[in-house]
């Protein structure tokens, strides 16, 4: 219920009441959101921190067999901290659906099941953005402008020059005729790419892009108002003044300050041209195994299922201070259980959708898959799927993969009308080039014809683009 002062024609002020319905996440929901988006290493740290801060929360002496993957298996629970540490850049890179929060994993608590992966992590920011162009309907001229804008981003993924200046420089140095209005239209498409905040022209726009992309961002509407109208107060950390302007409590203000840490002022800063020189040690979040008969089983990897209990010493305690910690511990345990269920349902739906790949390891069998597909299969909304899959890795008999790698939009159709992804086309294209006569390498036109013979209806310029993305030179350079 809010109050407003209205002025009548006689100049008198009349106070009226207006009922306004606002949706705010409860502390339990906020906790679940935060835990769900954490990869295994970050979760282990969070659990250990909670156990240290709550004297009545402790690790169970024996794991709960009711938790786990299919068949009730529990692959692991909170393990003692081991010596050594490893750092992994697990920035999520979805295509135009939802953003996935970035986590910089801290000290690893277990060396079990660590794998070395390179995949998309070997790509520079420019390469990642260029790959995402295929997911949007762009004309040839718009693609040219998109390439130009991507090349104009600084190392943080931000656009430092104004659009009028970029339009002039495009014609002067690139021979591209365009206008600020035309660049603005293409820039809005670029700002739908990942990581969220890419292509922003200011810190304010960068943060707004991230909050607007996340439909479940706690205090989302308040943050949009804060960043849009009170950005100067935000920059100078005038939180008391902001609390009054936003009509929120001190507790809400404290929570909002914590949520600020989720925003990244340098969306492209963790992805650079030197990324390809780095091989990352990854601790998987899921384990997928395939039997000889093709049966695929899913379990949560070690560290994802800490078995926590309230200390027996808390029983019978009437002290309010103790009860407060007991309730906090019970809420944390419940959130962990809900996280495990969400993670398992999400991974099982992904495996069911991509079963041929998990049975064979053949990436050409990967079907086009979007967040919507898994959301429909699980009953969760898209943002929940994005949190459950973001920054997560799955270990299979064929290698360890980031879950983001399994998602892809349709690139074209086969003669039979089946949808295929750009990754499938690239895999077939790579095989054709591998088998070509090195004395007479195939031109892009010949490659296009061979792909069409295999049922892939694809244009020559698309073949050239995929070849360049895979780092394969033109025919005359392959002799």
pLDDT in tens, 321-362: 888 999 999 999 999 999 999 999 999 999 999 999 999 988
* pLDDT, tens digit (0-9, with 9 covering 90-100), for 277-307: 333 457 899 999 999 888 999 999 888 877 8
Q: What's the mean pLDDT in 73-85?
A: 32
Of 212-221, 226-235, 288-297, which range is least confident?
212-221
d(CA 369, CA 367): 6
d(CA 91, CA 39): 11
Reference 324, options 60, 59, 54, 58; nearest CA is: 54
d(CA 342, CA 92): 18
* Predicted confidence band of residue 406 (pLDDT cuts 50, 70, 90): confident
Architecture of the 410-477 domain: Orthogonal Bundle (1.10)
Q: Tell me the HSE value of 268 on the side-chain side, using a 13 A CA sphere.
A: 28
pTM over 0.75: no
Could you give the maximum distance between any two Cα atoms of the chain, in Å?
Answer: 93
3-class DSSP assignment, residue 192: coil
For residue 58, how far is the Cα from the chain centroid?
A: 31
Reference 106, options 191, 192, 200, 39; nearest CA is: 39
- Asked if residue 391 lies in contact with residue 381, where contact means CB atoms within 8 angstroms, the answer is no
- DSSP letter, residue 444: H
| Chain position carrying tokens 């949706």 | 23
Identify the bridge partners of residue 7 per DSSP, sorted by sequence position: 13
What residues does each domain of the chain span? Answer: 27-120+277-405, 125-260, 410-477
d(CA 193, CA 188): 9
């Amino acid at each position: 219920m809010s109050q407003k002062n209205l002025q009548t024609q006689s100049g008198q002020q009349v106070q009226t009441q207006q009922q306004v319905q606002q949706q705010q996440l409860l502390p339990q929901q906020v906790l679940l959101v935060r835990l769900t988006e954490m990869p295994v290493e970050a979760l282990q740290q969070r659990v250990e921190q909670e156990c240290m801060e709550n004297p009545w929360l402790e690790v169970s002496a024996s794991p709960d067999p009711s938790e786990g993957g299919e068949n009730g298996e529990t692959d692991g629970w909170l393990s003692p901290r081991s010596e050594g540490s490893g750092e992994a850049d697990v920035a999520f890179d979805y295509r135009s659906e939802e953003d996935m929060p970035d986590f910089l994993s801290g000290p690893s608590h277990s060396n079990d099941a660590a794998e070395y992966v390179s995949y998309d992590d070997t790509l520079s920011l420019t390469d990642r953005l260029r790959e995402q162009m295929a997911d949007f309907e762009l004309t040839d001229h718009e693609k040219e402008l998109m390439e130009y804008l991507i090349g104009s981003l600084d190392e943080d993924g931000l656009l430092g020059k104004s659009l009028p200046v970029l339009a002039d420089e495009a014609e002067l140095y690139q021979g591209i005729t365009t206008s600020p209005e035309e660049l603005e239209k293409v820039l809005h498409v670029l700002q739908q790419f990942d990581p969220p905040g890419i292509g922003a022209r200011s810190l304010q726009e960068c943060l707004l892009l991230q909050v607007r992309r996340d439909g479940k961002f706690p205090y989302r509407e308040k943050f949009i108002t804060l960043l849009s109208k009170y950005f100067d107060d935000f920059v100078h950390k005038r939180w008391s003044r902001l609390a009054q302007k936003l009509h929120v409590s001190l507790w809400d203000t404290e929570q909002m300050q914590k949520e600020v840490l989720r925003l990244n002022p340098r969306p492209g800063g963790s992805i650079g041209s030197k990324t390809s020189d780095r091989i990352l040690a990854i601790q998987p979040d899921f384990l997928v195994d395939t039997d000889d008969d093709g049966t695929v089983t899913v379990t949560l990897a070690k560290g994802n299922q800490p078995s926590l209990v309230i200390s027996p010493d808390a029983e019978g305690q009437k002290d309010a201070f103790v009860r407060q910690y007991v309730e906090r511990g019970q809420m944390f345990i419940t959130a962990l259980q809900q996280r495990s269920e969400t993670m398992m349902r999400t991974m099982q739906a992904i495996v069911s959708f991509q079963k041929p790949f998990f049975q064979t390891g053949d990436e050409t069998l990967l079907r086009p898959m979007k967040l919507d597909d898994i959301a429909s299969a699980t009953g969760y909304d898209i943002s929940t799927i994005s949190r459950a899959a973001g920054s997560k890795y799955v270990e299979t008999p064929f290698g360890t993969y980031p879950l983001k790698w399994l998602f892809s939009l349709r690139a074209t159709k086969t003669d039979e009308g089946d949808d295929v992804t750009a990754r499938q086309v690239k895999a077939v294209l790579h095989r054709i080039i591998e088998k070509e006569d090195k004395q007479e390498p195939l031109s892009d036109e010949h490659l296009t014809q061979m792909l069409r013979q295999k049922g892939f209806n694809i244009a020559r310029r698309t073949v050239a683009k995929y070849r360049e993305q895979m780092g394969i030179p033109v025919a005359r350079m392959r002799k």
